[in-house]
Chain A
């Protein structure tokens, strides 16, 4: 059976009522035209999907006590060890945003700026300088780290370099989509109240779903929450958990859909062999996210991700960074002109058509 690692939901034809209802999950809670694959296997999709073993949800460990900074340092060491065995350069996709700034800061903290120049290359653009001017002025500009212009390089995973991105930090800290209508439905304090099926139904009805549809989706989320290995307390927790469990694997592969031009750009052995390292894709970071609630936000909508932001500000010794607004600087890489719509488990680009991938045994049948 052919299964998908990632897909664009809008590319699947709405040929049956279960597909129609399934797509409403995207428009209300995730992001239209994105990919969602539940790593807990609680929510069965109406298309055949699969999560590769290396992206499986780790088993919850209530005794996990490493800090986020320790997880960062472990990850740096892990990548450096891999580099020593391969003798290939580490290429950091550096946008200047919080995630990639933290990645770079972690490397500098670990081996120093001079050694970074010997082991690391930065894939960035002039916009990355504007995104984090202090990092540019204080560190990158004063170093000899080789710079690769991101306008000049295609996204390609191969065995010539170890590609490191800042992906998946969002899934540790964020709701499924910051643009989802949920943010208009309730205030942050309401989202921090205990979740209930009736509140979920209220939300879906508010988002213009029929009552029966709303009840169906609310019960799916209820199943997701009640099967979790740790307490899902609030609505916010539940929507974060949806992102954490459902968007992890699909975000891992998302860049392949939007950045890669053809199958030749994917060296399967390189991907599975560790030449692509989404920095935050480790078991430790995930365990940290499961046991740490207080570091995700401070109770206000604009405080999500405050903790990694604080770490970057501390590294830069620049308190002004705490109030900095985000401007994407690698958008030209992330958005592709001829995006693919599906990636199957053999790393081939496919059209996720209904006829090829429909799964009749799914959670969206009413």
Chain B
């Protein structure tokens, strides 16, 4: 492995591409995503697309590769000696590939929409990222609100009375909680909508709603 590819793999441990089960036309894996959102998008995408009982596919499984798409046939797989193996080798046919086109498109669109939901959530909450490495001080604020000594420290640092310190920290804490919760509520809604969308057109419509809600309408 070259230094460059090693670095790339460290930032995005999930290899790009798709893994498709031709036995039931399920997409088992999809990672056409930017590294920072790869894992949560994949997690959410799984809920949308994985309805097969086959959950574990190792790199050593018999996979037919075609471009960045890998194919397996789960009904040919058997669990032997700690890994999946195939009794019969196969090649994807043109028909297999055609069947997969719509599903691939749907998956890519879903992934994009999920990424949007996550991106806007990070963007909206980003303004609260404080300190080195985006350390989240929220829990500390919540803790300090119940601790008069810490409140007194804060008041001293900012030349405030303790009541003024409590007032502004409560104000700040409340806003973070409310914002986060509202983002959470809408993320759940949009993820559910995406799970239920059966066509590319439906996914595109949801993506418009996501844009409208989080961006054009200013989130709430």
List the interface of chain A (C-beta within 8 A of B): 125-127, 141-144, 146-147, 149, 151-152, 331-337
B79 in the interface (beta carbon within 8 A): no
Whether B175 contacts A126 by the Cβ 8 Å rule is yes
- From known contacts A141-B160, A144-B163, A335-B217, infer whether A149 and B168 are also in contact, taking CB-CB under 8 Å: no
Tell whether, in the assembled complex, residue B164 and residue A331 are in contact, meaning their CB atoms are under 8 Å apart.
Answer: no
Per-position contact with A for B205-220: 1 when CB-CB < 8 Å, else 0? 0000000110011111
How distant is the Cα of A126 from the Cα of B213 in the complex, in angstroms? 21
Q: Interface residues, chain B, CB within 8 Å of chain A?
A: 127, 158, 160, 163-164, 167-168, 171-172, 174-175, 178-179, 182, 212-213, 216-220
In the complex, what distance in Å separates the CA atom of A147 from the CA atom of B182? 20
Say yes or no: A141-B164 contact (C-beta < 8 A), given A335-B218, A337-B213, A337-B217.
yes
Which residues on the A side are within 8 Å of B127 (C-beta)?
Answer: 126-127
Please state if B172 and A126 are interface contacts (CB–CB under 8 Å).
yes
Additional 19 contacts, C-beta under 8 A, given A126-B127, A141-B164, A152-B175: A125-B175, A126-B171, A126-B172, A126-B175, A142-B160, A143-B164, A147-B167, A147-B168, A147-B171, A149-B178, A151-B175, A151-B182, A151-B220, A152-B174, A152-B178, A332-B220, A335-B216, A335-B218, A337-B217
Distance between Cα atoms of A337 and B220 in the complex (Å): 7
Kindly list chain A residues whose C-beta atoms are within 8 Å of the C-beta of B218.
331-332, 334-335
Looking at A127, A147, A333, A334, which has the most chain B CB atoms within 10 Å of its CB? A147
Bound-state CA distance A126–B175 (Å) is 8
> Main SS of the interface on chain B?
helix
Query: What are the 6 A-B residue pairs with the smallest beta carbon separation, nearest first?
Result: A335-B218, A331-B218, A151-B178, A332-B220, A335-B217, A332-B218
A136 closest partner in B (C-beta): B168
Residues on the A chain within 8 Å of B158, using CB = 141
* Alpha-carbon separation in the docked complex, A104 to B175 (Å): 22
Residues of B within 8 A of A146 (CB): 167
B174 touches A144 (CB 8 A): no
- Rounded to whole angstroms, the CA-CA distance of A332 and B160 in the bound complex is 29
17 contacts between A and B (CB under 8 A): A126-B172, A141-B158, A141-B164, A141-B168, A144-B164, A147-B168, A147-B171, A151-B174, A151-B178, A151-B179, A151-B182, A152-B175, A331-B218, A332-B218, A335-B217, A336-B217, A337-B212
Closest to A124 in B: B171
**Distance in angstroms between the alpha carbons of A149 and B176 in the assembled complex:** 10
Quote the shortest CB–CB distance from A146 to chain B (angstroms): 8
Q: Considering the chains assembled together, what is the distance between the CA atoms of A127 and B126 in angstroms?
A: 13
**B136 CB, nearest partner CB in chain A, Å:** 15
Q: Give Cα distance in the complex from A151 to B164, angstroms.
A: 20
**Cβ distance A249 to chain B, nearest Cβ, rounded Å:** 25
CA distance A74 to B174 in the complex (A): 35
Per the bound structure, the CA–CA distance linking A142 and B174 in Å amounts to 20
A337 to B216, CA, bound (A): 9
Q: Please name all residues of chain B whose beta carbon is closer than 8 Å to the beta carbon of A331 when the two chains form the complex.
A: 218
Instruction: For A328, give the chain B residue with the smallest CB separation.
Output: B218
CA distance A133 to B101 in the complex (A): 54
Set of chain B residues within 8 Å of A152, measured between Cβ atoms? 174-175, 178
- Bound CA span A337–B214, Å: 9
Please state if A142 and B167 are interface contacts (CB–CB under 8 Å).
Answer: no
In the complex, what distance in Å separates the CA atom of A125 from the CA atom of B124?
A: 13
What residues of chain A lie closer than 8 Å to B167, measured between beta carbons?
A: 144, 146-147
Q: How far is the CA of A152 from the CA of B220 in the complex (A)?
A: 11
Nearest CB in chain A: distance from B215 CB, A = 10
For the complex formed, measure the closest distance between the CB of B220 and the CB atoms of chain A, giving whole angstroms.
Answer: 5
CA distance A366 to B171 in the complex (A): 57
In the complex, chain A residues whose CB is within 8 Å of the CB of B213: 337
A149 and B164 form a contact (CB under 8 A): no
Contacts of B212 in A (CB 8 A): 337
Complex: A149 Cα to B219 Cα, angstroms: 16
Q: How far is the CA of A331 from the CA of B214 in the complex (A)?
A: 12
List the A residue with the shortest CB-CB distance to B172: A126
Chain B: CB-nearest residue to A336: B217
Assembly CA distance A84 to B219 (angstroms): 37
